[in-house]
Amino acid sequence: MLEINDLCASYGELQILHNINLKVGSSQIVALLGPNGAGKTTLCKVIIGLIPPKSGSIVFYGEKINNLPTDEIIRRGITIVPEGRRLFGNLSVRDNLELALYISKAERRKLKDRLERVFNIFPVLKEREKQLARSLSGGEQQMLAIGRALMTNPKLLIADELSLGLAPKIFINLLNLMKKIRDEGVSILLIDQNVKQVLEIADWAYVIESGRIRMEGDPKQLLSNEYIWKAYLGGL
């Protein structure tokens, strides 16, 4: 469904992404792993249309989407759970969810159904519906960020560093929820530094370093790969 071909992107003169090739299939969880500064978040911003690519293409369901505005990319079915959650703390849980539908009047008519779906996945958000987003715990805020991304009924969800600031147990619970979301037919591009937990649930994985795809493969094979063990799992 998503095909990234020879993608290059830069901030001014500084090139961040070099010839990235990456694919996400239908109802798949694809992991993108890599250290800080590898270009993971930049790649997210390029896919969602916040940074224009320098060269290469991003194809979604057979159509080129590079250089489309963000609202059009979202309407076509891609949403993002940004790094650090980026909620609007001064607005309520419900308001944060509703804002995801700002882009389209047609979508807004489906508000009730969409809220119901999100509340079914995250019942705690229903209980906290009227609370300010900033009053939620870290785990609840991450649920809200995922819920907000699900409001537009995406075909592809990009989750950037879900584990940031969360206790390991809460992160594992969230990963289980991601599997549930995948089983409902949403593809997920899961970007994280927690290599072991992410590889355990992914269907395919890429490793990005210094803006280049270093390797890709079946997650189980990557888990037993010597380089991955040494570089990301402490070499134990």
Residues that bind other proteins (CB under 8 A): 48, 50, 69-75, 80, 82, 86-91, 95, 98-103, 108, 148
Q: Work out how close the CB of 42 gets to other proteins at its nearest, in angstroms, rounded to a whole number.
A: 13
Q: Which is nearer to other proteins, 19 or 104 (CB)?
A: 104
CB environment 161-177: b (16+ within 10 A), e (fewer): bbbeebeeebbbebbeb
Which pair of structure tokens corresponds to residue 143? 């649920």
State the nearest-atom distance from the C-beta of 231 to other proteins, in Å.
30
How far is 5 from 58, CA to CA, in rounded Å?
6
Give the sheet arrangement for strand 212-217, strand by strand. Answer: 78-81, 156-160, 187-192, 29-33, 204-209, 212-217
Residue number, 20 or 47, with CB nearest to other proteins: 47
User: Shortest gap between Cβ of 147 and other proteins (angstroms)?
Assistant: 13
* Residue 21 vs 104, nearer CB to other proteins: 104
The residue (of 82 and 219) whose beta carbon lies closer to other proteins is 82
Q: How far is the CB of 169 from other proteins (least distance, A)?
A: 27
